[in-house]
Structure 1
Amino acid sequence: MFNLLILLAERLGFIMILAFLLVNTSFFRNLIKKRTHKSQFWLVVIFSIFVIISNLTGVEITNSKEVIMPIIITKLSQSYSIANTRTLVITTASLTGGAGVGMLVGLIGGLHRFIFSNFSDSFYIISSVLIGFLVGKIGDRVRGKQLYPDIFWVGILGLAAELIQMTFIGIFRGFDLVKLIIIPMGLLNTVGSCLFIEILKTYMSNERQLRAVQTKDVLELTNKTLPYFRKGLDLNSAKHVCEIIKKYTNFDAVGITDKVNVLAHVGAGADHHIATEPVLTDLSKTVILTGKKRLAYSKGEIGCPHANCPLAAAIVVPLQVNQQTIGALKVYFTDPEKLTVVEKNLVDGLGTIFSGQLAIGIAEEQSSLIKEAEIRALQGQISPHFFFNALNTIAALMRVDVEKARMAVMQLSVFFRSSLKNGQEKEVSLKNEKEHVDAYMNLENLRFPDRFHLEYQIEVSPQVLIPAFCLQIFVENAVHHAFKGQKGGKKIFLTIKAYNHDYFQISVQDKGMGIKQQILSQLLKKPIKQTNGTGTALYNLNRRLIGLYGSISQIKINSSHQGTSFTVLIPWQFEKEELSS
């Protein structure tokens, strides 16, 4: 019995080596993660090969209970028996693939045992199928939501499977044979089943941990590279990204290309893989052309024409936006053995993330261009609004006071000079905007002397940035709409002061008649056609403020019969001269 135990232990070791090699293949790991018809088919094929190997490498037992150990059993006498690991394979097949897989593997194993023993001992077919069915059903029930049952249940099922087999052997071949083989085969089947499932569990657990680490690495790199890729794929962004990847990984070199040229290369081979020069390697050219990932395990596969290039292995993935390849991410190794599954998965993740970052950057750039075009179109609407009023003023003055008309022309010149200058920018300094407003008010007061009074209360730097034409629109609105029917007291107060660390506040208040509720409810939401003024300038300004700074900066209106105030919050920003000083 002891000799038989040792011999079967050797067979078990052989099966465990095969199991270990099998688990190390991604093909097999993918099969056991999810049960589909396709995966179960391949599991039947794989475990059927194992069960046949178990039959062929068994230990022969003669009528006299003599143990014979051939290298491979090709033919078995009808009077001889065989001790092997077949039940172990059927058990693990059932636990791995379910009752269906276990039954088919048991059927194949039993048929093979029946055929190569000169068509004797047909009961092995029934016992093997029964073991596959029972172990698979009970295993699925006790495993719950886990991929496999606990080791305790694996041991119980392994032992139960062998006891079922021993029962059939005892009935059809006699219990003397059972006494000889029950302990070695029962022990080894139980231990072997536990070892096989434990190998699977350990490897799958390590794989999950590895994926978690890789995910963490990818997320860290994503966070560090996002600010650069959002600016687009250019020399500057590519250089910074390559330096970040090189710093936080074990790659010997990192490169990024566009469709034609090298944008950056950091690490080994930087002396001849130079930014702004054409892509050198055949590998990168193929990836850019096909849009598919490629791996190289030798210098020849990389295809660098430089004789002394130290790069010996590489992973190149395409960078794609809207399913169009716009470049490639390349990582290199000076030793091919460094190119492992870990590196492959990491680079795959980086390629996907970087493609997404570039897509975000392009989308943001397009959105910014659209907003820029919209702002310039809105600014074009603002200038004509005042232009015709100014011409009417000058025309009237030339009939009664030429000197005032000359002053009006000069003020109009100042106004439109600042309009042209400010119109080129989304934001201008408070100093420039105030000069613009002053020119406007001078023109109005030349036409209507002492009718309107604008008072400033400014508590912020004149270099602070505000949206172009912002103050002028508020003041012009007050001049034209706040004081209708009011003879005196036409005062406008313009206050600019700090609000908090992030924003300052602009407030324009008049002592006018207020805004009717019907109009107030529609103002800023759409141009109002029912009034003398359409409200287009305020509506457009509100859209600009929201587009530039978000909803926090939208115009707030407070109106009553005592007057109206317009208030906005603007983020603190200064002209470069203010920052440098």
Structure 2
Amino acid sequence: MLLQLFFKLAQNISVIVTISFLLSKTRIFKKAMKLKNNLWEKLLLISVFSAIGIMGTYTGVSIKGALANSRVVGVVVGALIGGPVVGIGAGIIAGLHRYLIGGFTAAACGLATVAEACTAAWYARKRSSKDFSWKFGLIIGVLTETLQMLIILAIARPFSAAWDLVSAIGLPMIVMNSVGIAIFVVIARNSLEEEERAGALQAQKALEIAKITLPILSKGLDEYTAKQVAQLIYDRVEVEAVALTNKEVILAHVGNGCSHHLVGTPIMTEATKEALNAGEMKLALDKEQIGCPNKDCTLRSAVIVPLFSRGAVSGSLKLYQDRERGIGSVEIQLAQGLAGLFSTQLELAVLEEQAKLISKAELKALQAQINPHFLFNALNTIVALVRTDGEKARKLLIQLGEFFRKNIQRGDKFVTLRQELEHIRAYLTIEQARFGDNLKVVENIQAEAEDWQLPALTLQPLVENAIKHGIYPKIEGGTVDISCWVEDNALRVVISDDGVGIEAERLEEIYQKKGNSSQGMGLGLSNVNDRLKYLYGSGLLIESEQGKGTRILFSIPS
């Protein structure tokens, strides 16, 4: 009899396990594993697990005026998978059903069913779903079935009949139902791991696509870049179409529907307009929800995710399928991941473009600062020389023209150190004509360094600053030293003077870019410092002591 009971319960468990396996493939089950079901989904889960419990009752074996059954599997698993609300709800329904069947254990079994669901729900709340294992399920099964046997002994009367019943069904039910719960938990755990593996795969795929698209989107989002990005996604993801838009028009559409979703035309689908207006993901499960006005459109479901730039919606990414409800969690996770990465890339592109514009504006400001002051002083010097030394005045005019020609032509280009030094020498020719013997310039230039590339107008502002704010205020004049050499695969530059030096407070203002631009004090240093930091990550190192001079150092990597 005992073996027959084991065999019958094993049959019941096999049916329940088969149902659980099929159930684990559903989206509602996977959401339940993460406790993300809404009210209606929880009600549906209560119905499903209470039905499993009731089925366990009906397939039970009649013995000694009671039933050896697998009812506990449905309610306990409901609590473990769906949470307290689902488990206790299923326990109440299945327990009430058992009570209505009758028998001398009706009240005890009905109460035990609810108690088992509550116990499983309480125990499950203490642990994460990621901690579930077959051992965990086995322990819960043993505890809850043992609890049922104790309740039968405590409530069912006569006690002698209850004892005979528990003696007969206790071991088979505790063992087989615990095994059933353990198997159910393993299936649930595998379902969760499968979901996580799918998510990890999509994350990896999203990162792979993002890596390829980074140099493309660094240029911004337009029809050209959008077409490249959409094609990359379409080639790597199993979808029927991929589209990218800005806030008004279609920038790219690759795959089915490209015959009428034309690039450059206003956005057609209502779902896209809703996603852009709300700034939230939109899931369209059928053609009607997509809202495409073309009646021949074969696209039947879509996920639309907005793209953001500077905190505002700037466009959308869309993945389409050609069947209703064809967009699953895999496509949703991928679309959300790609949209997030693309938004970051577009934000960086905007910031980089702004930085370039700022750098150009600062360079123009630097050129504007150099030209008026220098031109005024140079012309005054040449005018003074015209009557006393005409030939020298002529040479200075030639140098002045050369200086401004290079200054205008170079803009924000890169030049060799040799070209930068030629620019400086043209400038120094004028300045030495003004200051005479009060200004001395020493060059220590390594031959290897002369072909090194560096941003235009890097050294000249530093030399001018040394003369204008270091040597000029000093009555007896002084010396400017320009040293350039290659070391550790980088160009090392030092501009030093023995002038009046810079006050500590003033030096801090230069670093913080608080220079008095009206007088040009520190503007040249600040601009060069910012440009070097933007291009190479490090700027100027300024060492200065009042009354002794200033030393400026920087490096240009290869």
Range into which the TM-score falls when normalised by the shorter chain: 0.7 to 0.9
Counterparts of 1:53-452 in structure 2, within 5 Å, are 53-54=54-55, 57-59=58-60, 61=62, 81-96=66-81, 106-117=91-102, 121-134=106-119, 146-147=131-132, 150-157=136-143, 159-161=145-147, 163-164=149-150, 167=153, 171-172=158-159, 173-175=161-163, 177-178=165-166, 181-182=169-170, 185-268=173-256, 270=258, 273-279=261-267, 281=269, 283-296=271-284, 311=299, 313-322=301-310, 324-333=312-321, 339-398=327-386, 400-402=388-390, 404-422=392-410, 424-425=411-412, 427-428=414-415, 430=417, 432-448=419-435, 452=439
Indicate how the Cα distance of structure 1 residues 142 and 272 shifts in structure 2: closer, same or farther if over 3 A, else same: closer
Distance 2:39 2:291 in 1: 38
Contact 2:485–2:491 under 8 Å retained in 1: yes
Identify if the C-alpha distance between structure 1 residues 93 and 164 changes in structure 2 by more than 3 Å, giving closer, same or farther: farther
Identify if the C-alpha distance between structure 1 residues 134 and 406 changes in structure 2 by more than 3 Å, giving closer, same or farther. Answer: closer
Deviations 1:327-367 (A, max 9, x none): 22122345668644322221222122222322232233334
Instruction: Return 5+ residue gaps in structure 1 as ranges.
Output: 66-79, 573-581
The TM-score normalised by the length of structure 1 is 0.76
CA separation of 1:9/1:323 partners in 2, compared to 1, >3 Å: closer, same or farther?
A: farther
Q: 1:517 to 1:287 in 2, by over 3 A?
A: closer
Gap change, CA 1:495 and 1:276, over 3 Å in 2: farther
Q: 1:351 to 1:124 in 2, by over 3 A?
A: same
How far does the alpha carbon of each residue in 1:119-161 deviate from its partner, in whole angstroms, 9 at most, with x for none?
Answer: 9843334433444455556667799992466344245335524
Query: Identity of paired residues, percent?
Result: 30
Structure 1: distance between partners of 2:427 and 2:349: 41
Aligned length: 549
Q: Distance in 1 between matches of 2:89 and 2:534?
A: 68
What residue identity is the alignment partner of 1:53? I
Matching residue's letter, 1:86: R
Distance 1:199 1:144 in 2: 12
Asked if 2 retains the 8 angstrom alpha-carbon contact of 1:170 and 1:177, the reply is no
For the structure 1 residues 170 and 144, does the alpha-carbon distance in structure 2 shift closer, same or farther, using more than 3 Å as the test? farther
Deviation larger for 375-384 or 17-26: 17-26
Q: Give the distance between the partners of 1:145 and 1:332, measured in 2 at CA.
A: 33
Q: Which residue of 2 aligns with 1:539?
A: 525
Distance 2:106 2:269 in 1: 64
Q: CA–CA distance in 2 between the matches of 1:278 and 1:102?
A: 51
- 1-structure distance, mates of 2:6, 2:528: 88
Gaps of 5+ in 2: none
Aligned to 2:554: 568
Mapped contact 1:58–1:82 kept (Cα < 8 A): no
In the alignment, is the contact (CA less than 8 A) between 1:527 and 1:535 conserved in 2?
Answer: no
SS at match of 2:552: strand
CA contact (8 A) 2:446 2:486 kept: no
Letter in 1 for 2:74: V
> What one-letter code is carried by the residue in structure 2 that aligns with 1:128?
T
Cα pair distance change 1:383/1:242, threshold 3 Å: same
Q: Deviations over 1:53-90 (max 9, x none)?
A: 3477355748xx6xxxxxxxxxxxxxx64444323334
- 1:40-51 counterparts in 2 under 5 A? 45-46=46-47, 49-50=50-51
CA distance in 1, matches of 2:295, 2:86: 55
Q: Which amino acid aligns with 1:327?
A: G
Q: CA RMSD for the aligned pairs? A: 4.6
Q: Distance in 1 between matches of 2:287 and 2:125?
A: 50
TM-score (norm. length: structure 2): 0.78
Q: 1:101 to 1:159 in 2, by over 3 A?
A: same
Q: Which amino acid aligns with 2:538?
A: I
User: Residue 468 of structure 1: CA displacement?
Assistant: 3.6
Kept in 2, the 8 Å contact 1:317–1:351? The answer is: yes
Q: Are the equivalent residues in 2 in contact too, given 1:35–1:97 (CA < 8 A)?
A: no
Instruction: Quote the offset at 1:110 in angstroms.
Output: 3.4
CA distance in 2 between partners of 1:528 and 1:177 (Å): 91
CA distance in 2: counterparts of 1:4 and 1:288, whole angstroms: 62
Report whether the alignment pairs 1:508 with 2:495. yes
- Helix, strand or coil: the match of 1:566? strand
Amino acid in the other structure paired with 1:364: E
Question: Structure 1 residue 233: deviation in Å?
Answer: 0.9
- Structure 1 residue 241: Cα displacement: 2.0
Offset of residue 539 of structure 1: 3.2
Question: Is the 8 Å Cα contact of residues 99 and 134 (structure 1) preserved in structure 2?
Answer: no
For structure 1, which segment, 308-317 or 369-378, has the greater mean C-alpha deviation from structure 2 after superposition? 308-317
Distance between the aligned counterparts of 1:111 and 1:335, measured in 2?
Answer: 43
SS of the equivalent of 1:553 reads: coil
- In the alignment, the residues of structure 1 paired with residue 508 and residue 72 of structure 2 have an alpha-carbon distance, to the nearest angstrom, of 82
Residue identity in the other structure for 1:87: V
Q: Please list the CA deviations of residues 267-326 of structure 1 after superposition, one character each: whole Å capped at 9, or x if unmatched.
A: 455566554444455554554455443445666765667787665554332223355332
Distance 1:302 1:125, change over 3 A: closer
User: Aligned partners of 1:283 and 1:40: how far apart in 2?
Assistant: 25
Tell me how far apart the structure 1 counterparts of residues 409 and 244 of structure 2 sit (CA, whole Å).
Answer: 41
Counterpart CA distance in 1 for 2:321 and 2:536 is 47
Distance 1:243 1:504, change over 3 A: farther
- Counterpart secondary structure, 1:150: helix
Looking at structure 1, the residues matched to 266 and 515 of structure 2 have their Cα atoms a distance apart, in angstroms, of: 60
Separation in 2, partners of 1:369, 1:116: 82
The one-letter amino acid paired with 1:163 is: M
Whole-Å separation in 1 of the counterparts to 2:61 and 2:140: 28
**Equivalent pair of 1:259/1:327 in contact (CA under 8 Å):** yes
Partner of 2:458: 470
**Bigger Cα displacement from structure 2, 355-364 vs 431-440:** 431-440
Query: How far does residue 547 in structure 1 lie from its aligned partner after superposition?
Result: 3.9
Q: 1:75 maps to which residue? A: none
The alpha-carbon deviation at position 198 of structure 1 amounts to 1.8
Deviation at 1:554, TM superposition (A): 1.3
